[in-house]
Structure 1
């Protein structure tokens, strides 16, 4: 009798297996979605960093957008020109050169330059310290607790003497540091050359108020604006019109930089051979690397 039961059980299991195999086979055909092979090809080309510098969640989403939505092939900041050309080959389009985007810290005040600074003993994060009204006199300046440092996956930004500084030799332009800054003083800029002239200040207060909290902040004196049309004073702060920025014609800009009483018009980016020779015998300072991390809102480039 037992063999009959075993036989019925085996027959039942076999029948169920056949039915389920038929159902799964039908479902596979009925719900099959064709995947454009170019998506896989694009994913193979992309570096797989998933940094978000292109504006998409990851490389996979960017690849899908390129193939399905005709997104530009020049948005990968990590891969650069080589990835752009490879993606253009996958899509059969012409590669249009674009300027690389790199972060700029719009603050030049080290600890000794900051006035009205009070002791802060709270959580050692910029996002937390930014909620304290009197943590430092300037409400626009770098807090220096290193949220940007820990947000960077490429070890390209560090805090030196209380001020965030970008290592442009390592930076790939992913924008993580800009997203992590609670004061939005790190912005992403289109670098038309290896070194770009920027305004190292974010203070929008009047000149007398800036003097009360910072030794190097922009005073809104309009000296740069009077020398070059590239500069304009907006909300008491000097700004640069990068639409008109010409790296080959910087004579007036250099004059404006020399006239700035606070020396807030400075060049940032990769050093030239001349720059490297000038500091060849100098001892470099130690780099302070905090152990903190947070993320907040994005920001936009403002010059």
Structure 2
């Protein structure tokens, strides 16, 4: 408990989770939407009493060969929200994703809500703004989003308390959102049999990722954890994206209890050297640092994704 007591934001998150476990009215209803093309899970989280909802890590379908976007994944979410009479108040990104484009602007147009991400998105915008030579017209201040979360920011879905925690390491801007008794952890953790996220992107740091994960795993053991991706570990036939703190502490192949920071960093560094870049990293990051919006059209009315050659 020392880590909790030394960390006021984590202490608040622990109290929130315990309150939700004691009072079912403080537990959110959660629906996951799996996109097999990108192995991404998007979530609709809502308070069943007030029907206020958040959409987390949505997917815009993108055919890289044709350069075409579509809204099949987003429409599944819209259908779910409308069928249940939910009011969307938040469209949340755990970070600027490198493996899929965000559908948040499209969902915002259809359903409303504030588009939000962690404040350190400005670091990612600076790095990738230079890589894509985005020019002075591309603002690097996070203004593409309606709200920038700081570590420890409190918010709510109806009567359900929530808190945002900064969990860098995969990227500098990663956030986890603790809503009632449920933690949405983005790309920090995978299922226990698959391990943890990579830390070799610009601004990534394996030691920082270890400390962020250990911070999350100080939440109560029963805290539900919802993941952004699943790739089916060897020997597992089904996709899965819900686990809990206890399972992660006991079973995670990369970061379970007893694995030191030094051991983790050595493993993560060696593993990351052999990982290919995500297939959609260049279009995804280019769009997601803009809040999910395509670059402005050229004078012919066409929007272009830039692919830097021999630069990454």
TM-score by length of 1: 0.25
Bigger share in strand: 2
Bigger share in helix: 1
TM-score by length of 2: 0.24
